[in-house]
Amino acid sequence: MRSCSDVHNFLLEADVAHEMLQLPGLARTAVRAAQLLGVSTAEVVKSLVFLLDGVPTLVLVRGDSQADLDRVRAVTGCRDAVLARGQEVLEATGYRVGAVPPCGLASELPVIADPKVFEPPVVYCGGGATMTMLKLRSDDLRELVKPQLAEIAERAPASRRAH
């Protein structure tokens, strides 16, 4: 299993400025991560793994949004889009659910990102462990993961957004 050290080393090798932030508690959700960081959920990036016709794919959306499966299917042309289960996420990325970073994965995955992910100048992403977050410039993230950009997100219900 990979760790936050793998994320950090990947970014050092790529010469990307970043910070690995240790949190005072578990951050398994974007809302909790935003609370612990003292930032808006719009600044948190969720790195989700979907199986698109069985192919693991990384999907990036803002913390105040959720991936819309119909939009993902339409953009990719796949018939079947399902959120990967815990073991499938671990096998595809090397990281556990709740800690998946957008880069430094065990294997290279296709990446689809909602364009709104890159609106804040600085974003916070999974850092490889549930008590670690990765902080970097959104422009650097976009250049690093080279995602297919598509409007795939819908606003999360108000009960799941930070205030």
Q: What is the pLDDT of residues 31-62, one digit of tens each?
A: 999 999 999 999 999 999 999 999 999 999 99
User: Distance between CA 138 and CA 136 in Å, rounded?
Assistant: 6
Q: Structure pTM?
A: 0.95
Query: Is 161 a residue whose pLDDT tops 80?
Result: no
The yes or no reply on domain 4-157 and CATH 3.90.960.10 is yes
Contacts of 65 (CB under 8 A, 6+ apart): 46, 114, 116, 153, 154, 155, 156
Mean pLDDT for the stretch of residues 89-97 = 97
pLDDT for 158: 63
Mean pLDDT for the stretch of residues 12-18 = 98
Contacts of 12 (CB under 8 A, 6+ apart): none
Query: Is 162 a residue whose pLDDT tops 70?
Result: no
How far, in whole angstroms, is CA 33 from its chain's centroid? 12
Lowest mean pLDDT among 37-51, 100-114, 144-158: 144-158
Domain ranges, ordered by start, for the chain: 4-157
Query: Is 63 a residue whose pLDDT tops 90?
Result: yes
Using the structure block, give the residue that is written with the tokens 């990102």. 113
Handedness of CA 57, 61, 157, 37 (dihedral sign): positive
User: Distance between CA 129 and CA 4 in Å, rounded?
Assistant: 6
Give me the residues paired with residue 21 across strands: 133
- Considering the chain, what is the average pLDDT of its residues? 94
Mean pLDDT for the stretch of residues 75-81 = 96
